[in-house]
Amino acid sequence: MKLILPLDLVADIEPHLPPDTEVVRVDVEGNLDGDASDAEVYFSWFLSRSPTLHKIIEAAPALRWHHAPNAGVNHILTPTYLKRDIILTNGAGVHGIPIAEFVITYILAHAKHLPELYALQAERHWKRGFAIQELTDATLLIIGAGGIGQEIAARAKPFGLKIIGSRRHPQELPNFDKVVGADEWRSLLPGVDYVVIATPLTPETKEFIDESVLRWRSPPKASLPNHAYLINIARGGVVDESALIKALTEGWIAGAALDTVNSEPLPPESPLWSLPNIFITPHTSGHSPKSKQRSIALFIDNLKRYQAGQPLRNVVDKEAGY
């Protein structure tokens, strides 16, 4: 069997491969160091450009399975890619722990006024009287109660938060007080203190955090209360940025933490940088020294399943987009 592996990971993966495995290495530009025409398996590594992906799959007409380390695969599911009958698996869950830790950081930074307190320390200014909040009995809505959402809930629950999740197929989950269906979360918005977006970017979720969500209106057109705090660790495209800019400028909500935005890297001239009550991180919430290890372990486990003809983990529903 022949595999296409990213150049940077070959040394980590090769010791785990069966002796009869051939490896074709590929660099970040999609250049291959051998003949990939009979390669069955491709492990990509955080592709940033569609032409690179198209170049690789064109060179591998026998490709049957592609594993991507990302949880979100909207950038992979191009019309060119979808013409091919390739099983796609993703890295859902691999980055859940570091992302969940970042979400707790965002929540605590807001509740405890950490940015203001850091600024006061830098100014050597002793000031008191902040409206510091507790997390006990606050309500956290996690839109997207998949692997990452469940890791967030596991870390948020010990703080005493009431946790509501939403997912395409609702079911009882550990650490969640309630799990609702795809669009049912909208009716719950007036009672939410913190909302985390952890859903894939699909045609249904594109800019679904819009003015109707961010600007208070009386039910039945439910929306977030003005003390709510928004956290996006999903994809920038799920948030209508023009509506968010209005929301933060005019005080529709209390603040936001964004680990992802529409245009990355975020241009210096973007108004998002200077908005009040915003915490921007450079798409770094999933970073951890252990993420690479988990990605490789998932791929090796799936490779064993593939060779044994067993069902693969994390198979993407290409029609649904995740």
Taking only the tens place, the pLDDT of each residue in 73-94 is 988 999 999 999 999 999 998 9
Q: What are 242-287's pLDDT values in tens digits?
A: 999 999 999 999 999 999 999 999 999 999 999 999 999 999 999 9
Q: Which of 75, 283, 287, 305 is catalytic?
A: 283
Contacts 24+ apart (CB under 8 A), 308-312: 312/65, 312/87, 312/89
Q: Which of 14, 58, 116, 264 is catalytic?
A: 264
Q: Which of 66, 67, 95, 235 is catalytic?
A: 235
The yes-or-no answer on residue 235 being catalytic is yes
- pTM for the whole structure: 0.91
For residues 62-79, average pLDDT? 94
Q: Give the sheet arrangement for strand 2-6, strand by strand.
A: 22-26, 2-6, 41-43, 65-67, 87-89
The yes-or-no answer on residue 283 being catalytic is yes
Check if the beta carbon of residue 235 is closer than 8 Å to that of residue 258: no
